[in-house]
Structure 1
Amino acid sequence: MADTNKMIINLAVFGRTQSGKSSAGNILLGSTDFYSSLSPGSITKECSLGRSCYLHSFMRRGGQEITLQIQVLDTPGYPHSKLSMEHVKQEVKKALVHHFGQEGLHLALLVQRADVPFFGQEAFNPVQLIQELLGDSWKNYTAVLFTHAEKIEGAGISEDEYLHEASDTLLTLLNSVQQRCHKNTYAME
């Protein structure tokens, strides 16, 4: 029987190689569960799960204090410098079932570097992976996280200017996920 005083949020991070998925996962968890570094190739080769500490008294439900825990699934990037799309897809599919099981996935976070243009098939590969894994309703629980936003801010580009100059591909993606996006200004390695 599930503990009704405990809430778990299951989150999976997707994105291209070197987009900052592992760093974003670490920030979300407040930990260093996932290895992250600048590299000429893909670092994450298999999925791994990180868990936050319990956040006691996060909220109240029915007069009872609720404890929150966040689980983050770090996934290999695609395109991957060493793994095929099919291998990455099978790895992520197995990990989603194994780690999230019946509770399911609550949020898919598509990590996109703000300082790298989003267009063409290579940019669209992580979106295609999410669509294939999560089905037609993927848009309902996917958000976009822009990393390396400090580089855009450092160049004096405002958020409005950034979106005005963004590719149609990126704007279409943001519209499809109902503008659910966030920028991360922490330096990512």
Structure 2
Amino acid sequence: MSHQPSTRKDTDTHISLLSRHYQLKHFLSVFTDSEQRSDLRIVLVGKTGSGKSATGNRILEGDAFTAKSSPVSVTVHCEKQSGVVDGRKIDVIDTPGLYDTTMSKEEMKSEIEKAIYMSVPGPHAFLLVIRLGVRFTEEERNTVKWIQENFGEEASMYTIILFTHEDQLEGKSVKEFLAESPELRKLINICGGRYHSLINDKREDNTQVTELLKKIEEMVKDNGGEHYITEMYQEAQRKIEAEALERRRQEENKRERERERTVEEILIKMQEEEEIRRREEKLNDCKWYASTAALGRGRNRRRRRETERGDRRRKKEEEEKRN
């Protein structure tokens, strides 16, 4: 039995199914690309050894960041980690140590840009991490100014001073320690009087973290319930959206090329199958003609033999009559 070729209707059905398939894939890709926006975005800033990474781990209740005592910054690149704390999605962005002598100004500028991109559309809080129990340096006096220069003038309105290693105050409370440090009090006043303290190794008790998050929420409320935003963040947001749009455009073009290639492959296969069908039909026709011709030749031979026998019979009968 010869193979019947696919019709134009079959081709249209193939193309329609392929079109729906790729439309569904595109919808799913767009849906899965939409990232859930975090409830809180926190940027950690501070000198090397202040305990930024350990603070990030305390906030996220895990070991998201690499943290260890070292005179050289453990965090050499901005790093973003996320977690769910008390039912809220929190993003924490850890930054390299301020005034890190191992980094050039260009490298530090590049890392600041990364921190901005990682915290788009804008952070809810900058945590300026300062280690207690060690000398308060000139560099730390200028950290709020550094934040304003790199993240915008109003960044101090979204900044909380976070003291770490409270357990190293030799029996003093944080308030008692601050009473003896007018420079620290001045720094706190620049940040609207907001400060908090953490014992980074005290992981079994999250009371300090809960209180910190409450202070961040109060600060956000005081700032109109909005995250921090400047022209820098708006520009970063525009760039991110443009890059996402370009990625989607490239993915759509890629899917379209794949669709066209798939349709072309199907059409080529259909043409090949049609050619095979035609060859099979031609071969079957040849076999039929050959069979018919052979049958005709056999009939002709039988007719000739019968004619010859009839001629011999008549000839014999005529000879018998003459005799």
The TM-score normalised by the length of structure 1 is: 0.80
What does residue 171 of structure 1 align with? Answer: 185
Higher relative contact order (CA 8 A, sep 6+): 1
What does residue 276 of structure 2 align with? Answer: none
What does residue 91 of structure 1 align with? Answer: 111
Q: Distance in 1 between matches of 2:37 and 2:78?
A: 25
The alpha carbon displacement at 1:54 in A equals 6.5
Runs of 4+ in 1 over 6 A off after TM superposition: none
1:100 corresponds to which of 119, 128, 132: 119
What does residue 59 of structure 1 align with? Answer: none
The alpha carbon displacement at 1:150 in A equals 0.3
- C-alpha RMSD over aligned residues: 2.3
Matches within 5 A, 1:58-137: 68-97=88-117, 99-101=118-120, 103-120=121-138, 122-137=139-154
For residues 63-99 of structure 1, what are the alpha-carbon distances to aligned partners after superposition, in whole Å with 9 as ceiling and x for unaligned? xxxxx200000000112141134422331223312x2
Gaps of 5+ in 2: 1-30, 203-323
The alpha carbon displacement at 1:118 in A equals 2.1
For residues 120-150 of structure 1, what are the alpha-carbon distances to aligned partners after superposition, in whole Å with 9 as ceiling and x for unaligned? 2x22353333111221111110001100110
Q: Distance in 1 between matches of 2:183 and 2:105?
A: 21
What does residue 62 of structure 1 align with? Answer: none
1:161 corresponds to which of 176, 180, 187: 176
Q: Going by fraction, where is strand more abundant, 1 or 2? A: 1
Contact 1:130 1:138 in 2 (8 A): yes
Q: Distance in 1 between matches of 2:184 and 2:95?
A: 21
Letter in 1 for 2:127: L
Q: Distance in 1 between matches of 2:160 and 2:84?
A: 23
Q: Going by fraction, where is helix more abundant, 1 or 2? A: 2
Tell me the SS of whatever aligns to 2:115. Answer: helix
Distance 1:43 1:176, change over 3 A: same
Letter in 2 for 1:33: A
What does residue 64 of structure 1 align with? Answer: none
Distance 1:47 1:7, change over 3 A: closer
Instruction: Tell me the matched-pair count.
Output: 169
Q: Distance in 2 between matches of 1:126 and 1:104?
A: 20
Q: Distance in 1 between matches of 2:194 and 2:39?
A: 21
Letter in 2 for 1:129: W
Q: Distance in 2 between matches of 1:187 and 1:88?
A: 29
The alpha carbon displacement at 1:104 in A equals 0.9
1:23 corresponds to which of 38, 54, 71: 54
Letter in 1 for 2:164: T
Contact 2:141 2:187 in 1 (8 A): no
Contact 2:54 2:200 in 1 (8 A): no
Q: Distance in 2 between matches of 1:84 and 1:7?
A: 32
Contact 1:119 1:170 in 2 (8 A): no
Q: Distance in 1 between matches of 2:93 and 2:200?
A: 20
Which has more radius of gyration? 2
The TM-score normalised by the length of structure 2 is: 0.48
Distance 1:162 1:87, change over 3 A: same
Gaps of 5+ in 1: 57-67
Between the aligned residues of both structures, percent identity stands at: 34
2:198 corresponds to which of 178, 184, 189: 184
Tell me the SS of whatever aligns to 1:173. Answer: helix
Letter in 1 for 2:130: Q
Q: Distance in 2 between matches of 1:114 and 1:78?
A: 17
What does residue 155 of structure 2 align with? Answer: 138
Letter in 1 for 2:150: L
